Chain A
């Protein structure tokens, strides 16, 4: 042990850390979230809504400027657990929308939120992933089965349904939230 310590001495003329004992410290999850939030590169189509001192809960808004969902404004609630980044954040769409990969309760099917999540990924990767769902809705990973069927077999009909749902209309008896900007 003493040998290791003398190595440390040589390594660097160590500075004295003032005792912070008793005071609250940043948790490892806090540090990682702050770091991720500091180094975001948000595109013009993304907005982050966050209370100043709350790193654990925030809202990401996606405003697609191309594709079938162009002109919409979609909000996702993020919840960061104390186990972040070991566990992925919990992400939920707060509006009722018509989308093959998002169900009517707001659950989101995105691989990096579940089976492909790794601690090396960061919040930016998730933001980009969520945005991608609006550019390329994916019919082969359905969470809203009807929407996926429509997309697969009747693309024009699907587009019409998207517009109707975004306007707050009804698709096959299900009414949706108005999400137009």
Chain B
């Protein structure tokens, strides 16, 4: 400790760990809350060899990449499919005007690598959906700074599906940050152990919408006129064309329509940029909210890997930190309970191997489901991701799928395929992975 104290912070020549002087104080000695069973004083390797993935290199992603690099992480991967827009520059500080049009992941990676010596950042410019299990398996944990629910649900179900009961390394902690204006949240998910994104879906307030009849008959605000042009006028007049919110011609058309309507109702204030904002559902991003949420996410990543202090999301403790800065400042941390019947991480939704005789007929398989003590499904409906094998929930589908009963299982499904079995009598659905009985 004494040696670290005499080293000066700004002079890199004083020793290889000068830059990490203050970090080492946390890594080298326990604090009052440190769990002595899991903390190893002086362990610098964990951070250096841990490969972490950052999803999103936007408002949160820039902060997260900078924070991780400055917290001692050395092997960081980043995924983002977007290119830099001029409107990003006010807060996405790894980008400069000359970078507009380039891929965010590439520019962000190069910038941080240049500023923090010794850190390796590997960018991937594309969609998270391009990557498979093998790819996600290589990371110690994943930090998300995403702006869509869809992407969150995808990575969530991927990580839940990856958990293999015999391999501790298959469970990847997911740290999810999100911001909207002055509000934000940071949460930690241990897939299959604690409540997942899907369990928490009910809590995501969908965006505020105005009743259709207000838009159609009594608009009161300029936004109502824009939504009217967006939802009603476009459908009426340009039905054959799919609205592209990035096409200036389309936005101009909507803007003109909205402007005309606003004049009819004597509503001032419709502008081109407001049209763009309403149609693309742009919520002003606040740089400092991003900074707060990203800082929290990175602290959790650091603590999970080093055990230096208790972290958010330990099973049966608080895992969700919400922050709101729009009415003064308020933050609250709580435990979001796991949903028993969650379609993604519920006990029955976790894909389990199911031994099936490839030579058996579907009828024999259905009969066996009624007999299996753990199943006892008397009226099961069976589907694979490809097709409905036998559906009993409605009489006409039963009739349509009945011919399948005589077919052999090997002709209906394949090894490794997901199979969903439901029964009207039970609220849950059972998900299996087909394994041929030898």
- Residues of B contacting A52 with CB < 8 Å? 387-388, 391, 397, 400-401
Report how far A21 CA is from B236 CA in the complex, Å: 44
B164 at the interface (CB under 8 A from A): yes
Given that A15-B352, A115-B210, A118-B202 are contacting pairs, would A103 and B216 also be in contact in the complex, using a CB cutoff of 8 Å?
yes
Q: Select one of B163, B198, B418 contacting A20, CB under 8 A.
A: B418
Asked if B133 is at the interface (CB within 8 A of a chain A CB), the reply is: yes
A-side contacts of B397, CB under 8 Å: 52
Q: B195 near A: Cβ within 8 Å?
A: no
Interface residues of A in 1-45 (CB under 8 A from B): 1-5, 7-8, 11, 14-32, 34-35, 37-39
- Alpha-carbon distance A17/B343, docked complex (angstroms): 17
B161–A117 CB distance below 8 A: no
Whether A119 contacts B204 by the Cβ 8 Å rule is yes
Q: For this complex, into which size category does the number of interface residues on chain A fall?
A: 35 or more
A145 / chain B contacts, CB cutoff of 8 Å = 216-217
Segment from A62-70, A80-88, A151-159 that makes contact with B: A80-88
Among all A-B residue pairs, the 5 with the closest Cβ atoms: A14-B165, A31-B343, A5-B168, A21-B133, A18-B353
Number of B positions contacting A (CB below 8 A)? 75
Question: Which chain A residue has the least Cβ–Cβ distance from B313?
Answer: A4
- Please name all residues of chain B whose beta carbon is closer than 8 Å to the beta carbon of A119 when the two chains form the complex: 201-202, 204, 206
Answer whether residue A143 sits at the interface, using C-beta atoms and an 8 A cutoff: yes
- Distance between Cα atoms of A99 and B34 in the complex (Å): 66
Which of B71-79, B88-96, B419-427 forms contacts with chain A?
Answer: B419-427
Interface status of A57 (Cβ within 8 A of chain B): no
Cβ of B37 under 8 Å from chain A: yes
By a CB distance below 8 angstroms, the chain A residues around B192 are 8
Known: A29-B153, A31-B344. 16 other contacts (CB 8 A): A7-B193, A15-B353, A17-B164, A20-B416, A34-B429, A48-B394, A83-B149, A86-B206, A105-B232, A107-B216, A107-B232, A107-B235, A111-B211, A118-B206, A119-B202, A119-B206
The complex places the Cα of A34 from the Cα of B422 at a distance, in Å, of: 9
**CA–CA, A21 and B158, complex, Å:** 10
A14-B165, A19-B416, A53-B388 are contacts. A7–B315 as well, Cβ < 8 Å? yes
Q: B171, B349, B417, B427: which contacts A23 (Cβ < 8 A)?
A: B417
| Interface assignment of A165: CB less than 8 Å from any CB of chain B | no
Distance in angstroms between the alpha carbons of A108 and B149 in the assembled complex: 25
Q: Contacts A17-B165, A38-B424 known; A28 to B315 CB distance under 8 Å?
A: no
Please report the C-alpha to C-alpha distance between residue A85 and residue B344 in the assembled complex, in whole angstroms.
13
**Residue from A14, A23, A48 within 8 A of B416 (CB atoms):** A23
Interface membership of chain A positions 81-121, coded 1 if the CB is closer than 8 angstroms to chain B and 0 otherwise: 01101111000000000000101010111010111011110
Given contacts A24-B386, A32-B343, A109 and B171 within 8 Å (CB-CB): no
A48–B391 CA distance with the chains assembled, in angstroms: 15
B289 in the interface (beta carbon within 8 A): no
* CA gap between A82 and B150 in the complex, in Å: 7
Cα-based distance from A35 to B201 in the complex (angstroms): 15
Q: What is A's interface to B at a CB cutoff of 8 Å?
A: 1-5, 7-8, 11, 14-32, 34-35, 37-39, 48, 52-53, 82-83, 85-88, 101, 103, 105, 107-109, 111, 113-115, 117-120, 141-143, 145
Q: Once A and B bind, how many residue pairs between them come within 8 Å at the CB atom?
A: 180
Do B217 and A143 touch (CB < 8 A)?
yes
Residues B212 and A109 in contact, CB atoms below 8 Å apart: yes
CA distance A85 to B201 in the complex (A): 8
Are the CB atoms of B344 and A28 closer together than 8 Å? yes
Bound-state CA distance A145–B165 (Å) is 60
The answer to whether B1 has its CB under 8 Å from any CB of chain A is: no
The reply to whether B416 and A22 form a contact with Cβ atoms under 8 Å apart is: yes
Q: Tell me the complex Cα distance, A37–B193, Å.
A: 28
Can you list 30 contacts pairing A with B, beta carbon distance less than 8 Å? A8-B193, A15-B352, A16-B164, A16-B353, A17-B351, A17-B353, A18-B353, A18-B433, A19-B433, A20-B161, A20-B416, A21-B416, A23-B414, A27-B153, A27-B157, A34-B383, A34-B420, A35-B343, A37-B393, A52-B388, A88-B206, A103-B216, A105-B236, A107-B216, A113-B212, A115-B210, A117-B206, A120-B202, A141-B213, A142-B217
B132–A21 CB distance below 8 A = yes
Return B143 CB to nearest CB of chain A, in Å.
15
Q: Tell me if B173 is interfacial: C-beta within 8 Å of chain A.
A: yes
Smallest CB separation, A139 vs chain B (Å): 10
> A18 and B343: CB pair below 8 A?
no
Q: List B contacts of A38 (CB < 8 A).
A: 381, 393, 422, 424, 429
Would B418 and A114 count as touching, CB distance under 8 A? no
| Chain B nearest Cβ from A140, distance in angstroms | 9
Nearest CB on A from B362, distance (A): 15
A11 to B352, CA, bound (A): 17
CB pair A17 B352 closer than 8 Å? yes
Contact B433 A17 (CB under 8 A): yes
Q: How far is the CA of A86 from the CA of B304 in the complex (A)?
A: 30
A25, A83, A142: the one contacting B385 at CB < 8 Å is: A25
Query: A15: which of B165, B171, B198, B202 is its contact (CB, 8 Å)?
Result: B165
Give every chain A residue within 8 A of B153 (Cβ-Cβ).
27-29
Does A114 contact B353, Cβ atoms closer than 8 Å? no
> Shortest CB–CB separation between residue B241 and chain A, in angstroms?
16
